[in-house]
Structures are given as C-alpha cells and as structure tokens.
Chain A
C-alpha cells in the first residue's frame, strides 16, 4: 500500500508539474528601472527591463542588454497590465534598482504611486526612489538603471523607498530625495526635493544639498566653496530645553584634505552653509528633514505634547548653534569622486 502511494505521489510530481501556474524566468519581465509619469489624467509607466535571459550576448561588454517599454492608462495597475499584454510577460519587480517619478506625477499623484509600490510589496525597501526634473522616461531612455543607482547612492541622503516612504508617513518630518537631471549628457543628482506628507514643498539647490549631505554624516570627498574637499563628515545634534526657547547645539566634525592654515576658513564656510540651509528648511519650507522635533520629543515628551500643534513655530523661534570642527589630512588625492 505504501509503495503504491509513493509511486502515485512521485508520478504526480513528475506529470502534474506543468499544471501549476508557475512561470519561468523567461516568461517574466525582469525590471531594472521603473519610471512613472502623469499627464492628461493618464499614468505612463515605463519599464527598463533585461532583454536577454539565459543566453550570452555576442558582443560581450557592449550594447544594451536592456530595453524600455511604456504603457499609459488611467491607473497604475492598468498601465502595468498594458505592458504585460505588450510583452506577454509578467512584470517581475524584485530586481528593480530605481523608481523614478516624473515631476508632474510627484506633484499630483505621489500618494497613489507610493501606495501602489509599498502596500502591495511590489518593490523592495532598498529601491532608490528618485524624482525626475522633467519626465522619468527621458531619464530611463538616456541612462541605464545601474548607472542611475550608482550615482544616486554615491552621496546617500537616504533616498531609498524605505526612508522616503517612511518619512512621508510622518506628520512632522519632511521627506527628501534626489532630483534627477540630465545635463550635457551626464546624469546629475545635485538638488534635493522636499515633501511633507506627500505634498511637494520645494527644492534645495546644490549648496543646500551639500549642507544636507554634511549634516547627514554621509559626505565623501565632497567639494565645497573654495575647492575644499571634505573627505568625511559626522554631525551630532543636542537640544537644551531649559531656556525660553529650545537651543540646538549642532556639532559637525569634518575631515578635510588641505593645508592646516585653511581649517578656520573651511569651518566658517561650512558653518554658514549649514546655518543658511537650516534657516531655509525651518523658516521657508517648514519641513523638518533633520528631525529637530524628534530631539525635542526625546528630551522632554511633555514639552513636546504641550507644544505639538505649533511645533513649527517653536522650531522657528529656536536657536541653532552650529559648531564646525575640522581635522585636516595630507592631501593625497586632490580630486573628488563626489557627484555634487
């Protein structure tokens, strides 16, 4: 009896395996980059997908092994289905490196786009989520997803889906990500877009973006005014609530590649940069991307609760004391790898 059962199950496995709805990799569209644009009430989904599965390319190292396919429809799901109909393949999101959202889509439909890709677990949290200055499709047509991904990660401002979507959920914290632009044939991530609860707030220019990178502690060979190169940065923020207004002490430690005599000048330049950026973010944009409200919350929860409904007024009145400490190293490589 047992032998019969064993034979039966073995034959079932061999003969019935084709009856499952499982699809092989050759029946799937392996995405590397996804672009979302929105115009005239229509979503345009563009996918940069791998074109060769299982075979080796005749010209190794040359030519595109990806292709771009687009589809437009009234909803994201329908647009994706349109792509699947065109190719006869199911979209496989798990290898996606970048999600690029066009400007108009980011300004009007960001909520729907992020929901589509996060709540359905379509994209991994590590996918870089970027905003295109014009159209997302133009970026994908110009550059490979790997290249976009490399550039976006070079000086990280925590622009992947996990941080971006997480910050959009926060009532007080602003979300930020790179603003992509193709200029003279090269891809640039030199500006940062700010959002607050899915609403487009503004753009930080190149200088403010550098301050952001320095304060985030992720500067790596960053060139600032005067061609000074910041090799590394580290920032520490503390808050004192004992006075009439919160007093933030922001200590920035820099490692720079230059002569010792110039360390005071570098310190002044970076201090001014950071102060101007904080002013812009707190006063102009009311977008707390540095989490100042969290420092207040962690220091004194009751104080935060008492002032929660007008926390931005509190932040505007606060004192921001920026101190920059510079350590210089012998300049081995005076050029910079940084993209900004």
Chain B
C-alpha cells in the first residue's frame, strides 16, 4: 500500500491537541465521582505516564507499516474477522462524537440557558462537521491550525486573567484525604483519552516524525490539564464542590482590568474546538466504515454517520447511568486504544513467525 502524506506533524499535533482540549473542557467532577479537583492534579501526572503506555501499541502498529491505519491493520491481520474490530472502532468514534456533543447540548441548554432547540443545534454542528469530514483530513487540518492558534491565545488570556484570582489558602496538601479521589481522577482522565484511538486512524496521514509528535502531544495535553486544575483550584477553592463544569465557572470569575465575564471565551473555545473534534471523529468513522463496506457506499456511510451522531447525541442523556458512567467510558477507551492494538500486535508476531507477513 502506497503511503500518501497529507498533513504535517504540526497540523496533526494541532488537531489531536484540539480534540483533547475540547474533551478537557467537559471535565465534570460529579462524573469522576469526586469533588476535590486539587487531588486530580496528582491524577493528571499519573495519567500522563499511563498515556504513554496506552498509546504505545497504536504507535507500534504504525511503525510496522506506516501506510496503514488501524482499520487497515485489522483487516490485514484478521481478514474477515477483522470486521468485528472495525465495528467496535466505528461504534467508538460515534460514541465519542455523541458524548462530546451531548455534553455541549447540556451546557448550552442548562448552564447557559439559551433557548435553542437541541435538535437544530446538533443538526447544525453535525452538518458542518460532516461537510468538513467529507473534504478530508487536509481540509480539516487547514481549518484546525487556524482554530488552534486562536484557542492557544484564548487559553493564555484566560490563564493570565485567572492568576490574580488565585488564593494560596484555597490549596490543601495533596492527597490530604485518602487515595480514592486521586484514583478516581486517574480513571476519569484516562477514560477521556479519546485522542489515542483517533490517532490510530490518523497517523498514516502524517509527514514527519510521529514519535516526537506523540511525545509532545502527551506532554502538552496533560500539561495544560494540570495547569488548568491548579489555577482553577486556587481560584475557586471549595466553591468547586457546587459546580458541574469547573473550568467554565473559573472563566466566569476571571478578570483583569476591564476584561471581565470571560465565560464567553470558554463558549468560543468549546464551539470552535467542537467543530474540529466532531469532524475528526466523523472522518475516522467514515474511514473505518469504508474499509468495511467499500468505497462505493461512501454516501451511504456519510449519511449513516450523520444520522447516528444526530440521534444518539440527543438520546444519550436519557441513558446517562450507562453512557456517562466513568467505568463504561474507561473500558471502551482502553479497549480501542490499548487492548485491540495489543491483540493486533500479537497476531502480527504470530503471523510473522509463520512467515505469512513480513
């Protein structure tokens, strides 16, 4: 299979970083079964180390044949049985899109109290994201790099405006209570590592040093998360225990000089990043389904993906006990980012010993 380089490492870093940031914006203390954000700082450090372990099998698969994405590897190594894995990945990408989109709907409807129909809001996002996904990774990357820079400036601005709000007395010694909150934090943060299975599909598009990109990506994503938690804990203290979206709450208290009420910046980051993130997951879904159903059914696959994301994201909050359950999301993420790639690697080694593959 001939490799087609389409995006640079910088563009890919920007896309995966953006998707991780958007997921990070939905950081939700009740979902993590915890109410102490400060202990999650330690969780983020642990999760950062574990993320390198999680992404290793995906990277190893890429090294074996850098022209093949994870869907290609499934069919190459398991032939027809690989379809089972493709279905799992297809479901995962749809789930990830719906999860983020449903939280966005909850945020807009309940927190911001905008009287916008969730159906039309979701439809607008899905249609625009689907259009971008149909244009391919190159189109998404070009838009993504611009949004990346805007979001970086917004993040720096928010951090600077939040620093004056930090009160040293809001900090407690780390791990002041037992390890439960920290462990819950690790599981929750790892469950939101949606970018790892996404990377499995997108790696073959990269031109450049993928290993360096992965390292910088992991450090950046968790570095930003740790910084956000540190500043938000210092600014809001015990008030966080009453808040569902802590980062949003922090932006509403950020102020410096005449700049106040920066929660609109949070909404801007969320919306811009959401468009890119949903586009990426839809693209990943299309690539997986095209591998399974063939290139000729492209329009059907696009329509299928769009309808599934539209309907499931509206219905997801009704089954919150299951789909917003941290353990379920963690298992699903680890299955797609670690276990299936490990199975593929084992299969590859077995076939290599038999001489059936090179």
- Interface residues of A, Cβ cutoff 8 Å to B: 20-23, 90, 114-115, 118-121, 124-126, 162-163, 165-167, 169-170, 173, 291, 294, 297-298, 301
Contacts and interface: CB of A to CB of B under 8 A. Distances in A.
B215 interface: no
Interface in B230-275: 236-244, 248-249, 252-253, 261
A299 to B, nearest CB: 10
Contact of B173 (A23, A162, A298): A298
Contacts, number: 68
A167 B117 contact: no
Contacts of B243: 118-119, 121
Contacts of A166: 236-242
Given A294-B169, A298-B173, A301-B176, A162 B115 contact: no
B241 A169 contact: yes
A169 B238 contact: yes
Nearest to B171: A298
B357 interface: no
The 6 tightest CB contacts between A and B, nearest first, are: A166-B239, A166-B238, A21-B115, A169-B238, A118-B242, A169-B241
Contacts of B160: none
A124 B252 contact: yes
A239 B336 CA distance: 52
Interface in B121-157: none
B173 A301 contact: yes
A198 to B, nearest CB: 12
Contact of B239 (A21, A22, A162): A162
5 contacts: A115-B242, A126-B253, A169-B238, A170-B238, A297-B176
Indicate the member of A119, A162, A297, A298 with the most B CB atoms within 10 Å. Answer: A162
Contacts of B1: none
Contacts of A291: 169
A120 B2 CA distance: 54
Interface of B: 110-117, 120, 169, 172-173, 176, 236-244, 248-249, 252-253, 261
Contacts of A125: 236, 239, 249, 252-253
A118 B116 CA distance: 22
A169 B173 contact: no
A90 B114 CA distance: 11
A20 B116 CA distance: 6
Contacts of B115: 20-23, 90
B173 A297 contact: yes
Nearest to B165: A162
B271 to A, nearest CB: 16
A315 B115 CA distance: 51
Nearest to A92: B113
Given A298-B173, A301-B176, A21 B116 contact: yes
Given A121-B111, A126-B253, A297-B172, A165 B116 contact: no
A20 B236 CA distance: 35
Nearest to B175: A301
B316 to A, nearest CB: 21
Contact of A21 (B117, B236, B238): B117
B152 to A, nearest CB: 26
B295 to A, nearest CB: 21
A162 B261 CA distance: 14
Contacts of A22: 114-116
A115 B239 CA distance: 11
Contacts of B169: 291, 294
A162 B114 contact: no
Contacts of B117: 20-21
B172 to A, nearest CB: 6
A163 B242 CA distance: 12
B242 A165 contact: yes
Contacts of B252: 124-126
A126 B173 CA distance: 27
